[in-house]
Chains A and B, each alone.
Chain A
């Protein structure tokens, strides 16, 4: 018997609960634990750290139909023609375990078969991707030909990547037919890939904040899905009061102290309260009235969330939804396919809608560093071509192939996550999967609406990778876990403001 990665944790939870409730013997518990491969899981987790396991969709859905497809014949012919010059070249790319990367890792053999170009994809935790990319660009080493760049790092690395639009024009002999740049969702290009008027890379992944709820619980409690943060709080409290005896909480948070996931949650509540991270004068504004209101709202939510929230990233938050601990959450749309997996205990129960909207949002003009306050925090990424690559042309061919219509659509079919291309949203194969089941795409129409209407983006500034991974989540963690500030949101935000404003001034921004 084998267990899919997804089910291991819930299996263990059930076994542990049965054991503590004395429903099974110690011997049975140990047997079940061994069966689930605790040791191996621990080793695996130890190696991978905080990967987005829920996003490892390939493991969730087995062998999907996309694997049997053969690609666009015109693109395949082009790959054979241009790729043959680079036969034997090896290109390297490092990424987090995002759904497109995981699926691409399975599809790359097709590319190698047509071109003879070897592709090595290193899949590591998010913080390691940042560390590797940072070291590579600092020394201009060219160890990696392509970078996975999270949206919060784009400004930091924009100077180290080749503008794909310019490259496409400059190298017509290497330009892939039918690339159709207009097919990329415009809000994604503007909010994700563009920096300082240029494309830093090609949009590659777009998890976005969505309001999700369990229909069965809402029916049972006669609740209506929330439209505003206030309604969200009311629903969450109602669920908590009614279901806490059944081990259910009002909502779940990704509030791991010092982790970027906490920063994402915080940003959203600040925006929903009418605030922003920076003012137009480039001063940190998380400590203004709106910012404090947002943080206090988050502190309230934490009280009715699973205690494990302060130690959970997006992975733990997804697990809360999968194990039945929560029935309402405002978080990443990419949770959906995992919750609908064949052997999920919450299969078909979760619904999605556009995220809760605050009364008013600060305008882009009043925010700083290109920040876009809105209801749908995007956590997307781009694929960037390294300026320092020693195999620039071979990597460029691969990049175009990876971001082509056919491959991007097949990646969506493989993982059930939101595509970057408009044509993928409309693809009949994607439409056909808008049903409950493995690799579902039933949430994608909502996701497209969110991208078009609600998409929000964090500031574009070179220091943001550091602030969003260190100063902000570390100090928020001190507040939320009671290490410092005595629960005073203003004190915490003033402290963060002091650190960030000084660093911005020191950098001469």
Chain B
């Protein structure tokens, strides 16, 4: 009797596919979307929602109790002078790094934009700094900027640009420059590669016409190259800008936000609140503020420069 029932179900199943078989068929989009969606939920949505939820609580550092108080951290953070300093440092860090990386990246790309022998190798070598972990780059520069034996610091002292024994990273007025040096050294090649790709895809005809009309290379650069490269530049700036607004590794290793708060950015400030004071709700609030800053600036940028991703 049992065998008969089983067979009947099996036959029925063969004629009318059950829902999960239909879904698993190649024509249905769900199986293809599911893994990516699951990853996004676990690693993207859940942390974001957890951070938002956490930011709506007030933590008592003594008892470790968290009570629901939605406005507390948001009001507190906007009344905190250190947050405004961190915001200013974040914007400064991003702005200065972008300008240097963009200008240097374009200059180096123009130099390397050639089919002559050896240039291919040089272009390949430009990628080398990119494969070094940022924390290692930061440590290398930490040693090189050391006032006692660092090669950069000693070089600047020998040139008379710094007084003997001067500590670049231990001094309020030069610490940010020291960190930026590492950042610019490592990420300028990224700009070079993007610019090179852009330069090599430009049509030759406009440049030939300009040359026939007597345009100088400088005129050709400003009147032709730059306008034609504007989209490429905008995308490069957008990618690096988003990264720079979240700057953390170089600062953590080289100055740990110091001296004082001279190199403290929003992310390093959040880190200090999180790991130092264990105030997770407040740290989440600062992290969300950073996210908000990234979204707003990139959206505005994309509107202004009409970038479509």
Chain A residues proximal to chain B, CB less than 8 Å: 12-13, 16-17, 20, 38-39, 41-43, 45-47, 49, 127, 130-131, 134, 138, 156, 256-259, 306-311, 323, 325, 461-463, 465-466, 469-470, 474-475, 477-484, 503, 506-509
A309 / chain B contacts, CB cutoff of 8 Å: 170
Whether A477 contacts B277 in the complex (CB less than 8 A), given A42-B143, A307-B167, comes out as no
Q: Mark B34-64, 1 if CB is under 8 A from A, else 0.
A: 0000000000000000000000000011111
A507 / chain B contacts, CB cutoff of 8 Å: 60-63
A477 / chain B contacts, CB cutoff of 8 Å: 258-261
Q: What separation, in Å, do the CA atoms of A20 and B149 have in the docked complex?
A: 9
Nearest chain A CB to B69 CB, angstrom units: 12
Q: What separation, in Å, do the CA atoms of A466 and B62 have in the docked complex?
A: 11
B260 / chain A contacts, CB cutoff of 8 Å: 257-258, 474-475, 477-479, 481, 483-484
A462 / chain B contacts, CB cutoff of 8 Å: 61-62
Chain B residues numbered 168-222 whose CB sits less than 8 Å from any CB in chain A: 169-173
B241 / chain A contacts, CB cutoff of 8 Å: none
Q: What total of chain B residues lie within 8 Å of the partner, measured CB to CB?
A: 46
Q: Is the CB of B171 within 8 A of A481?
A: yes
Q: Is the CB of B261 within 8 A of A478?
A: yes
Nearest chain A CB to B101 CB, angstrom units: 22
B146 / chain A contacts, CB cutoff of 8 Å: 308
Q: In the complex, which of the residues B165, B172, B253, B278 contacts A134, with contact meaning CB atoms closer than 8 Å? A: B278
Cβ-based interface call for B114 (8 A) = no
Q: Is the CB of B170 within 8 A of A481?
A: yes
A469 / chain B contacts, CB cutoff of 8 Å: 276-277
Q: Is the CB of A16 within 8 A of B165?
A: no
Nearest chain A CB to B266 CB, angstrom units: 15
Q: Kindly specify which of B13-21, B22-30, B91-99, B131-139 makes contact with the partner chain.
A: B131-139
Whether A466 contacts B170 in the complex (CB less than 8 A), given A46-B253, A477-B259, comes out as no
Interface centre among A41, A306, A325, A470 (most CB of B within 10 A): A470
Whether A46 contacts B135 in the complex (CB less than 8 A), given A307-B147, A477-B258, comes out as yes
Q: Is the CB of B258 within 8 A of A258?
A: yes
Closest to A44 in B: B139
Whether A46 contacts B139 in the complex (CB less than 8 A), given A16-B151, A508-B62, comes out as yes
B62 / chain A contacts, CB cutoff of 8 Å: 461-463, 507-509
A466 / chain B contacts, CB cutoff of 8 Å: 61, 276-279
B261 / chain A contacts, CB cutoff of 8 Å: 258, 474, 477-478, 483
Q: What separation, in Å, do the CA atoms of A47 and B135 have in the docked complex?
A: 8
Q: Is the CB of B149 within 8 A of A16?
A: yes
Nearest chain A CB to B60 CB, angstrom units: 6
Q: Is the CB of B60 within 8 A of A306?
A: no
Q: Is the CB of A46 within 8 A of B133?
A: yes
Chain B interface, >50% SS class = loop
A12 / chain B contacts, CB cutoff of 8 Å: 149
Chain B residues numbered 119-158 whose CB sits less than 8 Å from any CB in chain A: 133, 135-136, 138-140, 142-143, 146-151, 154, 158
Q: Is the CB of B139 within 8 A of A42?
A: yes
Q: Is the CB of A308 within 8 A of B148?
A: yes
A474 / chain B contacts, CB cutoff of 8 Å: 257-258, 260-261, 272
14 contacts between A and B (CB under 8 A): A16-B148, A20-B154, A43-B136, A131-B275, A256-B256, A308-B148, A310-B167, A311-B167, A461-B62, A465-B276, A466-B276, A477-B260, A484-B260, A506-B60
B279 / chain A contacts, CB cutoff of 8 Å: 466
Q: Is the CB of B253 within 8 A of A49?
A: yes
Q: Is the CB of A311 within 8 A of B172?
A: no
Nearest chain B CB to A377 CB, angstrom units: 20
A45 / chain B contacts, CB cutoff of 8 Å: 139, 142
Closest to B133 in A: A46
Q: Is the CB of B170 within 8 A of A470?
A: no
Given contacts A16-B149, A42-B140, A127-B276, 14 further A-B contacts (CB under 8 A): A13-B149, A38-B143, A47-B135, A156-B278, A258-B257, A463-B62, A466-B278, A475-B260, A477-B260, A480-B259, A482-B173, A503-B61, A507-B62, A507-B63
Chain B residues proximal to chain A, CB less than 8 Å: 60-64, 133, 135-136, 138-140, 142-143, 146-151, 154, 158, 165-167, 169-173, 253, 256-262, 272-280
Q: Can you list the 6 inter-chain pairs with the closest CB atoms, starting with the nearest?
A: A478-B260, A311-B170, A257-B258, A466-B277, A481-B259, A483-B260
Q: Is the CB of B170 within 8 A of A310?
A: yes
Q: Is the CB of B259 within 8 A of A483?
A: yes
Q: What separation, in Å, do the CA atoms of A281 and B45 have in the docked complex?
A: 46
Q: What separation, in Å, do the CA atoms of A466 and B232 have in the docked complex?
A: 45
A20 / chain B contacts, CB cutoff of 8 Å: 154, 158
Interface centre among B150, B167, B253, B259 (most CB of A within 10 A): B259
Q: Is the CB of B60 within 8 A of A257?
A: no
Closest to B175 in A: A481
Q: What separation, in Å, do the CA atoms of A47 and B138 have in the docked complex?
A: 11
Q: Is the CB of B167 within 8 A of A138?
A: no
Closest to A131 in B: B275
A38 / chain B contacts, CB cutoff of 8 Å: 143
Q: Is the CB of B172 within 8 A of A130?
A: no
Q: What separation, in Å, do the CA atoms of A83 and B105 have in the docked complex?
A: 63
Q: Is the CB of A482 within 8 A of B148?
A: no
Q: Is the CB of B278 within 8 A of A465?
A: yes
B136 / chain A contacts, CB cutoff of 8 Å: 42-43, 46
Interface centre among A13, A45, A311, A463 (most CB of B within 10 A): A311
A470 / chain B contacts, CB cutoff of 8 Å: 272-273, 276-277
Q: What separation, in Å, do the CA atoms of A507 and B154 have in the docked complex?
A: 48
B148 / chain A contacts, CB cutoff of 8 Å: 13, 16, 306, 308, 323, 325
B165 / chain A contacts, CB cutoff of 8 Å: 306-308
Interface centre among A12, A130, A310, A503 (most CB of B within 10 A): A310
Q: What separation, in Å, do the CA atoms of A17 and B146 have in the docked complex?
A: 12
A308 / chain B contacts, CB cutoff of 8 Å: 146-148, 165, 167, 170
Nearest chain A CB to B130 CB, angstrom units: 17
Q: In the complex, which of the residues A16, A47, A156, A479 contacts B154, with contact meaning CB atoms closer than 8 Å? A: A16
Whether A311 contacts B169 in the complex (CB less than 8 A), given A20-B154, A43-B136, comes out as yes
A42 / chain B contacts, CB cutoff of 8 Å: 136, 139-140, 142-143
Nearest chain B CB to A14 CB, angstrom units: 9
B257 / chain A contacts, CB cutoff of 8 Å: 258, 474
Closest to A259 in B: B256
Q: What separation, in Å, do the CA atoms of A474 and B136 have in the docked complex?
A: 25
A257 / chain B contacts, CB cutoff of 8 Å: 170, 258-260
